[in-house]
Structure 1
Amino acid sequence: MSLEQSTKVCLVQQGVWDMPLESMPLAAGYLKSMALSDDRIRHEANIEIVNFRGGVTNTTMANTLFTDGVPDVIAFSVLGWNYHSFGALAATFKQLNPDGWVVFGGNHATNQADRVFRMFPEVDIVINGEGELTFRDLLRAYLDGASRHDLADIDGLSFQSVDGKAVTTAERARIDDLDSIPSPFLTGALDLTDADGKFRYDVALMETNRGCPYKCSFCYWGGATGQKVRAFSIERLREELEIFGKLGVHTVVACDANFGMLPGDYEFVKALIETRDRYGFPRALETSWAKNKSKTFYQIVRTMKEAGMKSSFTLALQTLNDTALDLMRRRNMKVNEWEDLTNWLAGEGLDCYAELIWGAPGETIESFMEGYDRLAQRMSRIAVYPLLLLPNTDYMEKKERFGIKSVRGDNDDFEYLLAHDTMTFAQNQEMQKFMFWARVVAENAVLRHSWVALRRLAGLSQSQALLNLEAWIATATDPSAEFLRAAQAKVGTNGLGEAIKFLFTEPEAERLLLRWWDEAVRPLLPAEHEDLLAEVFRYDLLTRPVYRPEGLAPDDDVTLVTVDGDTYYLRAGVALGHDIPTIIATFKADGEPDLTPRPTTVDLYYRAGSESAVTSTNHEIVVHYMGVPEQDIVRGPAEQRNC
């Protein structure tokens, strides 16, 4: 730090998952890059981003933040999982630097100043809405010697007056020209590589636009609901993609509310493919796809398929029940006319998953399970989320209207739904158990091929198979089953993550699942298809990600190979009694496969580096590490292929 840089500023983020690789602190990167665009701030302030993984203790975070000197200004990006921890760190900071400024921003702080100041009186300022311009202005005020109790001239924030009352200033207009926010990648505001020069994050996060035109009752997308959608320029996005291509980043995640809605989204996909063609990377795009599938969406899908660019195409349905859709304010979305789209995607051989929310007012167990199985006939990967009550949402503000009963989490700032007018407490408890197994085994693709085979050949719906597993685990006398029961009993995502990691990584998990199949599933199967269905189930177990945090052992059954510049584990010469890959692909395309036993040998390739994916509970990422035959590998451009 130069002599001029006497003001120390710290931007703090924390990801939700405890995993080997960090989650990219994109929000902090934007704040830093905008602040450093100001000449005075750049010369007089030293701005540091401190990014924590999920699960880190408050003590560890405090020692990291304050051992080498206490900041003058500390700003926290506050979300549900870190709300209480960041409040505790604010209190610690004030003990060390009573005159320092504590700033809260993010979804669980914005427009919540009264509550934040009441719970955490050490917090001085809450930023409401987009933070880049407001944070820059705050740093200018600090350098000018302003009082943290008198910031009325700065739009877009709330502060505590001298007598402790919350004062909220005028709302700040949205940033129309997003390119006026300097890129954290192009400016170097965000560190992208580790000490070895490798990309340091699990995926690359990008925004191509901001805003969401919808006002769904459960959602507050960064305060952008009901807003005009504004886009970054394609020229800027191309430059950012260039950086990720050179760094060999496999997956880009577009943090947009409705990707595929704007014509410019097609230009972004073309730029992504062109970057991949030059450098071999990136090879996959994940995003929240547009709720209404326009011509642009279909154009994007076809282009990605032709180029071999991987993605999981999302149907964010949330519910199929008309009453719940009305109360959710989603009946006007064409996304609810989804069956033709899923048929088209299946016919194109493309991966697709759906999202449902359990617990929406107007929903019942019967209507939800009917919708779940109706969806499962088209796709097995259904992400089922519990309805959480979030600040600034319609459901939170109208709890009495819906008869909502809820409880706030012990270690987070989410309100967990207990009951409402169409769902009793007991019904919710039963569905929580089902949802746990639906998320662990189906959503996260621990099993992904067995569902369609069980439905087509044994008449078992996906919900019936999951309920069968739930009932068997509940009574099984096995230490592994005891572990999973304990994980299921935990509230929040901790137990979910423990169960997913166990089923993906522990040798005992395969033994437990095979025992379940033999004891609880096999008796339900028609004799003529019993062996084939067992083989599909075995194929599911074989294609789980290869998890080798300590590297290969001398007696390992896989070897490391390089395909198009990417590292894979190869399990060669897997013998099958049927042509399982072809049978499954035909089923998923709604065809009638030849079920004749046909000894088949396949080589299975597993992308290396699954350690972060299998501990993140992020099903969109983990599927990129599943074992696939050679023809299904997500490849680089043809001229760079070396396999």
Structure 2
Amino acid sequence: MSEVPEFTVTLVQQGVWDMPLESMPLASGYLKAMILGDPDLSPRVSVDIANFRGGVTHGEMARRLFSGQLPDVLAFSVLGWNVRAFGALAETFKQLKPDGWVVFGGTHVSHQAERVFREHPAVDVVVNGEGEITFRELVRAHVHGRGRTDLADVEGISYRSPGGTPVTTADRPRIEDLDVIPSPFLTGAIDLVDEDGVFLYDVALVETNRGCPYKCAFCYWGGAVGQRVRAFSRTRLRAELELFAELKVHTVVACDANFGMMPIDLEVVEDLIEIKEKHGFPCAFETSWAKNKSKVFYEIVRRMKEAGLRSSFTLALQSLSTDALDTMNRRNMKVNAWQDLVEWLGEEGMDCYAELIWGAPGETVESFIAGYDELARYVSRIAIYPIMLLPNTDYSDNKDVHGIVALRGDQDDFEYVLAHRTMSFEDNARMQRFLFWARVVAENAVLRHCWLPLRTFAGWQQSRVLSSLADWADASTRPETAPLREAAARAHGGGAPAYGTAIGYLFAHPAGRRALRHWWEEAVSPKLPAEHRTFLDEVFRYDLLTQPVCPAAGAGSRPASDPALPDLEELLGRDLYVRKGVLLGYDLPALLTKLRAGQPVDVSPAPTEVDLYYRGGALNAVLSTNHEEIMHFMGVPQYVRQRDRAS
């Protein structure tokens, strides 16, 4: 009979999105694996991971955490969206167990002990920097009878002195050999499957390396900016990927800052390809790709294309304004060759998206819109993020230098920039409206085919299309537009879940698609050149036809029915759907391919019949606004036959 552990630890994570599936608790998994891998602690300490979805109330979390035996150590993985909830839970925990330890860790609180202790009196310790070794040492100190004010020899923390003042110990050196952290997957520290053996999470999260050589003014990636990149071993990573493949995990996401920069990254992809050939999984690999594309990156793209391993390749440009790039500390990056890169990716048939930040010091409305439309000439899927002041970043530390005026969000703890020397309050308010529609419709590919034809045949820039939709939604009295206006209003000031609401409405609800059709019929089609109107109308219809298959509201896993779209048939249950015999007025798959390649096209009518195939299970990606994942659920055409034009 096994002995009951003397000490208990509960690790708490919460994602930002309220999704059907949980996000994998990777950070907590590392900490648990570290403790269970210690021969001194493992027999004496039990570790539980409490992993919560976004949207879970404080009361629901409290019931899960405090209904049974209370832990000796309650540790939270803190980010800007959950710090307030975790502070409230910490306060309740202290009422129930005054001698329990509360530990905060994560980039949002690292090196922020003075503010954390002031705003959250129940917190005993803040972990500064990488947490695995530091947290193990904290648990060891507790197990060996040390008090929570007697921690001066534990590197990498801030704690309260007996008098209550913050004490910060020496920084802990970065972990050079990352393999000293036991794998949370191979050790079983993270539960991976449910009682039926089905993978629990939306995607599998891994780290292949840590560190980032850049010092962007807005970023604090893992607390390791401006540092040498350190990698986990190939042997370990391959074993983890093999395990995911055996569990039939569709998508692996590497939580790295610059994947594709080092030779070991190509080795990881080679292993992924071999594993996919053996097991059929994983099917997709997503990551934050290297900002500067090296020979390694180009070879990775070629190998992935040959193997059919899907991904969305990132252009992390952040701005096309030289003034804004100066304040971002990014002028030293080789981002001036991005046009050639996009064209090359298009020739290789690989998906690509870009990232921009709105509101950086040095940026203006005019420079941003000009940069957006210039970028959209090459890639329509542009992810735009409003500038936020993250702790420990150059922008946060030097607000006065840039004249930054900021406000903390009412639903999170991020500081949102409202104005600075090149952006007025009025400028920002006007752009927040544009950002909502750009993120919902373009970034998340609610529309993805019509951008290039509209620009080519009607002269409409992407910003004009989005402004048209925004203006129409604001003015329309149609009932279908009300949910969109409400979501747009909630999105201002950090209401991130509002984006998921709007995207879900447009993808999963027939009324959402009706709203899009009404906008097109009333605000776009009448203004198009008469000679190309029929063709452009058909491209828009193709956009709606190829949207992901999502359940209807309140319908469980049943896809939404829409009388305006051809019927869906189930293939292999919820895993695959097909619309058979869809008649198009033009050979749109071929025409769109030629347009993207810059080739001349003939847009004369050419009736074409296709079957459209869809992977099921898109709702999780849609509600989390995970645009990389959404792309894996788009309808894929397969020709039935091309009809004779004369018929």
Smaller-chain TM-score bracket: over 0.9
Q: 1:576 aligns to what?
A: 584
The whole-number CA distance in structure 1 between the counterparts of 2:469 and 2:2 is: 62
Structure 2 residue 569 is matched with structure 1 residue 559: yes
Q: Secondary structure at the match of 1:9?
A: strand
Equivalent residues of 1:94, 1:122 under 8 A apart: yes
Shift of 1:162: 1.3
Equivalent residues of 1:73, 1:100 under 8 A apart: yes
Q: 1:229 aligns to what?
A: 229
Q: Where do 1:404-443 residues align within 5 Å?
A: 404-443=404-443
User: Runs of 4 or more off by more than 4 Å in structure 1?
Assistant: 552-556
Q: 2:515 aligns to what?
A: 512
Change (3 A) 1:460 1:173: same
The whole-number CA distance in structure 2 between the counterparts of 1:371 and 1:554 is: 37
Equivalent residues of 2:510, 2:561 under 8 A apart: no
Q: 2:175 aligns to what?
A: 175
Q: What is the CA RMSD across the aligned residues, in angstroms?
A: 1.4
Per-residue Cα deviation, 1:411-442 (whole angstroms, up to 9, x for no partner): 21100110000000000000000010000000
Q: 1:524 aligns to what?
A: 527
Q: 2:619 aligns to what?
A: 611
Amino acid in structure 1 at the alignment position of 2:65: L
The whole-number CA distance in structure 2 between the counterparts of 1:338 and 1:527 is: 35
Shift of 1:623: 1.0
Equivalent residues of 2:12, 2:75 under 8 A apart: yes
Equivalent residues of 1:18, 1:615 under 8 A apart: yes
Structure 2, unmatched stretches of 5+, are 640-647
Q: 2:324 aligns to what?
A: 324
TM-score, normalised with respect to structure 2: 0.96
Change (3 A) 1:553 1:522: closer
Change (3 A) 1:553 1:302: closer
The whole-number CA distance in structure 1 between the counterparts of 2:371 and 2:282 is: 35
The whole-number CA distance in structure 1 between the counterparts of 2:407 and 2:310 is: 40
Q: 1:163 aligns to what?
A: 163
Structure 2 residue 543 is matched with structure 1 residue 540: yes
Equivalent residues of 1:137, 1:154 under 8 A apart: yes
Amino acid in structure 2 at the alignment position of 1:154: V
Q: Secondary structure at the match of 1:215?
A: coil
The whole-number CA distance in structure 1 between the counterparts of 2:115 and 2:103 is: 14
Structure 2 residue 497 is matched with structure 1 residue 494: yes
Equivalent residues of 2:285, 2:310 under 8 A apart: yes
Structure 2 residue 49 is matched with structure 1 residue 40: no
Equivalent residues of 2:509, 2:560 under 8 A apart: no
The whole-number CA distance in structure 2 between the counterparts of 1:262 and 1:53 is: 34
The whole-number CA distance in structure 1 between the counterparts of 2:601 and 2:197 is: 48
The whole-number CA distance in structure 2 between the counterparts of 1:246 and 1:6 is: 36
Equivalent residues of 1:317, 1:336 under 8 A apart: no
Structure 2 residue 630 is matched with structure 1 residue 628: no
The whole-number CA distance in structure 2 between the counterparts of 1:7 and 1:411 is: 35
Q: Secondary structure at the match of 1:314?
A: strand
The whole-number CA distance in structure 2 between the counterparts of 1:315 and 1:610 is: 24
Q: 1:108 aligns to what?
A: 108
Q: 2:643 aligns to what?
A: none
Shift of 1:594: 2.3
Q: Secondary structure at the match of 2:619?
A: coil
Shift of 1:3: 3.2
Identity of aligned residues (%): 61
Amino acid in structure 1 at the alignment position of 2:544: L
Q: Secondary structure at the match of 2:323?
A: helix
Equivalent residues of 2:10, 2:71 under 8 A apart: yes
Q: Secondary structure at the match of 1:335?
A: coil
The whole-number CA distance in structure 2 between the counterparts of 1:363 and 1:612 is: 34
Q: Secondary structure at the match of 1:42?
A: coil
Q: 2:11 aligns to what?
A: 11
Q: Secondary structure at the match of 2:99?
A: coil
Per-residue Cα deviation, 1:281-322 (whole angstroms, up to 9, x for no partner): 001011000000000000000111111110000000000000
The whole-number CA distance in structure 2 between the counterparts of 1:516 and 1:148 is: 61
Question: How many pairs were matched up?
Answer: 629
Per-residue Cα deviation, 1:254-273 (whole angstroms, up to 9, x for no partner): 00000000000000001011
Per-residue Cα deviation, 1:536-588 (whole angstroms, up to 9, x for no partner): 0001011111112534489892122249xx92111111111111111111111
Q: Where do 1:238-257 residues align within 5 Å?
A: 238-257=238-257
256-265 vs 404-413, which moves further: 404-413
Q: Secondary structure at the match of 2:223?
A: coil
Q: Secondary structure at the match of 1:449?
A: coil
Structure 2 residue 300 is matched with structure 1 residue 300: yes
Equivalent residues of 1:266, 1:296 under 8 A apart: yes
168-177 vs 521-530, which moves further: 521-530
The whole-number CA distance in structure 2 between the counterparts of 1:476 and 1:555 is: 24
Equivalent residues of 2:480, 2:514 under 8 A apart: no
Shift of 1:346: 1.2
Q: Where do 1:11-30 residues align within 5 Å?
A: 11-30=11-30
Q: Secondary structure at the match of 2:335?
A: helix
Q: 1:271 aligns to what?
A: 271
Per-residue Cα deviation, 1:342-379 (whole angstroms, up to 9, x for no partner): 11111112110000000000000110001000000001
Equivalent residues of 1:354, 1:381 under 8 A apart: yes
The whole-number CA distance in structure 2 between the counterparts of 1:587 and 1:81 is: 41
Q: 2:137 aligns to what?
A: 137
The whole-number CA distance in structure 1 between the counterparts of 2:499 and 2:239 is: 38
The whole-number CA distance in structure 2 between the counterparts of 1:319 and 1:479 is: 37
The whole-number CA distance in structure 2 between the counterparts of 1:510 and 1:212 is: 42
The whole-number CA distance in structure 1 between the counterparts of 2:622 and 2:224 is: 31
Q: Where do 1:320-399 residues align within 5 Å?
A: 320-399=320-399
Equivalent residues of 2:550, 2:559 under 8 A apart: no
The whole-number CA distance in structure 2 between the counterparts of 1:45 and 1:620 is: 39
The whole-number CA distance in structure 2 between the counterparts of 1:578 and 1:151 is: 72
Q: 2:644 aligns to what?
A: none
Shift of 1:337: 2.5
The whole-number CA distance in structure 1 between the counterparts of 2:615 and 2:559 is: 18
Q: 1:638 aligns to what?
A: none
The whole-number CA distance in structure 2 between the counterparts of 1:587 and 1:68 is: 62
Per-residue Cα deviation, 1:74-102 (whole angstroms, up to 9, x for no partner): 10000010010000000010011000000
Equivalent residues of 1:560, 1:570 under 8 A apart: yes
Q: Secondary structure at the match of 1:41?
A: coil
The whole-number CA distance in structure 1 between the counterparts of 2:601 and 2:70 is: 66
The whole-number CA distance in structure 1 between the counterparts of 2:148 and 2:561 is: 63
Q: 1:280 aligns to what?
A: 280
The whole-number CA distance in structure 1 between the counterparts of 2:274 and 2:505 is: 39
Q: 1:476 aligns to what?
A: 476
Structure 2 residue 556 is matched with structure 1 residue 550: yes
Structure 2 residue 603 is matched with structure 1 residue 600: no
The whole-number CA distance in structure 2 between the counterparts of 1:502 and 1:567 is: 22
Per-residue Cα deviation, 1:591-622 (whole angstroms, up to 9, x for no partner): 22221211111111111111211100111111
Equivalent residues of 1:349, 1:589 under 8 A apart: no
